[in-house]
Amino acid sequence: MVARIGVIGDSHIDLVMPQGWVSDVTSGMTKLSAAPVSRIGGTGINIAVAAAYYGAAVQLISAVGDDLLGKAIEAYIASRNIDTSNIYRSSKPTGVIAILLDQASERGFIAGLAGSADEDIDASLACYEDYSNLDAMVLSGALILTGAYWNQKVFEALKTALEKAKESGLKVMFDPNIRTLQPLTSKEREAWFELCNLADIVLMSSEDLVFLTASRFTAFSIAELRHVVDVPIVLKVGQFGCSFYPAGGTKCSFMQIPRHIKPVDTTSAGDVFSGIFCAAYTQGMSIYDAAREAVEVASMVTSTGSGVEALRLVQNG
Which domains does the chain possess? 4-21+31-315 (3.40.1190.20)
CB 254 within 8 Å of CB 288: yes
The sheet carrying 37-41 orders its strands as 37-41, 12-17, 95-101, 107-111
Answer yes or no: is pLDDT of 23 > 70: no
The predicted-structure confidence for 169-201, as pLDDT tens digits, reads as follows 999 999 999 887 788 999 999 999 999 999 999
pLDDT band at 271 (very low <50, low <70, confident <90, very high): very high
Higher pLDDT: 37 or 157? It is 157
Q: Lowest mean pLDDT of 69-78, 214-223, 230-239, name the range.
A: 214-223
Portion of the chain with pLDDT greater than 90, in percent: 58
Answer yes or no: is pLDDT of 317 > 50: no
Average pLDDT, the chain: 86
The predicted-structure confidence for 296-309, as pLDDT tens digits, reads as follows 898 888 766 666 77
Q: Lowest mean pLDDT of 43-57, 207-221, 275-289, name the range.
A: 207-221
Answer yes or no: is pLDDT of 28 > 60: no
Cα atoms in the 13 Å half-sphere on the side-chain side of 105: 17
Tell me the pTM.
0.89
